[in-house]
Structure 1
């Protein structure tokens, strides 16, 4: 399948679980198609880009290790994604990577997510927190930053500062997640 054939195929992707699962399995069973999917995902001004992001998120949710050969490409380009419906799945993938990386169980993400990858994810998640993003990327970003803050001691104080500063201005959903993260941060200081 060429990139253009895949592009046409992505027109059929919607939010239904069946469609996203169908296409996620297509890529898991044909990993040689993943670079083409990422190429479309990072056409950041294209209306099909979010559909590629939905499929990529669903694929990562089923098998996060599938992203390993593409960590450089993903982390190098994730800060360019700006369409709201593509930002959310990209932010969710960042959270999945942080959860796998900080998991108590051994996994391939722990050995393949390097310092450069983490720095790019951290920078992008802080951008989610300080820019005018929707609640979901901010929520995924704060969880990602909290988890990676276990390794980088400067993250937690910065995250707490942003959450406390923006608390009154944000939605109920943001406040609920922020309250939860702030409580965890306070426990860490004790």
Structure 2
């Protein structure tokens, strides 16, 4: 399948779990398609960029280790993504990587995720926190920052400042997640 063929196929992807799962499984079975999908995902002004992001998120949700061959390309370019419906899956993938990295269970993310990758993730997540993003990317970002902040001592104080500063102006969903994260930070 060429990039053009994959691009046309993405027109059939919608919000349904069935379609996203179908195309995620297609990628898992045909890893040669993943770089093509990422090329479409990182055409950040393209209307199909979010659909590529949805499929990539489902592929990573199935097994976060699926991202390993593409981790450099993903972390180098994720900060460029700006369409709301593409930002959410990117933020979710960041959270999945952070959770795998700090998991008690052995996994390959622990050995592959470098300090450069983590710094890129942290930077992008802070951008989500301070930019005018919807609640879902902010929620994933604050959780990712909480997790990775255990390794980077400057992250938690910055996160607390942002959460406390923005608390009153944000939605009830943001407030609920922020309260949860702030409570965890006070315990640590």
**1:57 aligned residue:** 57
Q: Which stretches in structure 1 are left out of the alignment for 5+ residues?
A: none
How many Å separate the matches in 2 of 1:69 and 1:21?
A: 20
Query: Alpha carbon RMSD of aligned pairs, Å?
Result: 0.4
**1:120 aligned residue:** 120
Shift of 1:40: 0.3
Pairing 1:174–2:163 present: no
**1:186 aligned residue:** 186
**1:102 aligned residue:** 102
What is the TM-score of this pair, normalised by structure 2?
0.99
**1:160 aligned residue:** 160
What is the TM-score of this pair, normalised by structure 1?
0.98
Q: How many residues align?
A: 188
Shift of 1:63: 1.2
How many Å separate the matches in 1 of 2:93 and 2:32?
A: 20
Shift of 1:141: 0.2
**1:89 aligned residue:** 89
SS of 1:150's equivalent?
Answer: coil
Q: Which stretches in structure 2 are left out of the alignment for 5+ residues?
A: none
Question: Structure 1 segments of 4 or more deviating over 3 A?
Answer: none
**1:3 aligned residue:** 3
How many Å separate the matches in 2 of 1:16 and 1:162?
A: 34
SS of 1:151's equivalent?
Answer: coil
How many Å separate the matches in 2 of 1:60 and 1:136?
A: 17
Pairing 1:26–2:30 present: no
**2:66 aligned residue:** 66
